[in-house]
Chains A and B, each alone.
Chain A
Amino acid sequence: MGAHPTPSDFEARTNATYDALMWALSRPGLPRDLPSAGQSGIIETLIDRECAVYCEDPAMAEIAARTGAAMAPPEDADHLFLSQPPARLAGLRQGSDMYPEGGATLVIPTRFGSGRHLGLTGPGVGGQVLCRLPDIPHSFWADRARVMRYPMGFEIFLIDGAQVIGIPRTTVVEVL
């Protein structure tokens, strides 16, 4: 076989980041390793000028703005890079029954691995997966269940350093 193109650092990073995000969402509750810590890797993997982005952290907003994405308030954004779990979930974009893909994607930094167990069930979970997310208030999961009506909804990526957990809209989260 002849010469093939070699991946640039950017390509290798975004490819690995997407692989982690895809598997995180396919297997809810199971942490995956990102190539780098923090939200900036996810921004360069997913965001470009076709996106409307909301960033709480001004440093992230600058990185997102460099991709050409439009800055939008939380209720209009399709990707939200937050600093903590949002207090109000009802206003977030959830798509429509005809176009469920219009739902938002939330990226929230948090900590994994202590506090009460959460029981996750739904597609991607064989049986039940337990995970522990101490910094997410229990009312968040109750609100999430209350405001979403499948197939409308939003996706959540929780990141702790260079690890990511995905919670798609299909996952039922139970505080045990």
Chain B
Amino acid sequence: MGIFHDKAAIVTGGSRGIGREIVLMLAANGADVAFTYHSNAEAAVALCKEVEKIGRKVLAVKVDSRDFEKAKAMIDAAKQAFGRLDILVNNAGIIRDKALMMMTKDEWLEVIDTNLNGIFNFTRNAIVGFLKQKSGSIVNITSVSGVAGMARQTNYAASKSGIIGFTKSLAKEVAAYNIRVNAVAPGFVETDMISGFKDEHRKAILAQIPLARLGSTADVAGAVKFLLSPSADFITGQTIVVDGGLFIQ
């Protein structure tokens, strides 16, 4: 029996990268997991098979995080399928990196709408159930970019800083209802998001990381696991930075 035995979880942006690792971590620790995906149906189907192999229920739904009504329908579907909901991991996010002077309004809005408004859409639709049952745990995936700032990421960093403010405020608002809200801020993690970086850029990044490697998706899922687990029962409103020491305050 895992630490999330018979709990039910939702992970947004679950088909690839960090989200996928979180889905597998939750299932491996006993949870039924519903996840959203945006475009890669093949990856979503493959992940469903892996979760079923672990012996947990799984539900994959194609949802654009920007769509409030679809987020609501997805949460209702997960509750219907699993009979409950205990955990929400807001992971879905995109990048449209560019120097501000070159950034279009659409590139700004798309990132804010997906990363920040998306968190509102899912959390708003999950929170009433959590309040009613007087339990629930939420982890929002932000970024070291939102903590320390990163050149060419004004849109992304603004969305990720917004997530940290959201996390702190909601944590205060719902603590009395036994609901915890925390965030994890990954640094550079080996995912599709940075696979397009040139070798020189990768070397330059590695030179800045004290632990001298890129993070793995498992490094991030480990921090999420801790925050969702009973070991973190007295922790809320916090952001754990998982970046190999890149940004040490």
Q: Bound pair: A and B?
A: no
Question: Which residues of chain B have a CB within 8 Å of any CB of chain A?
Answer: none
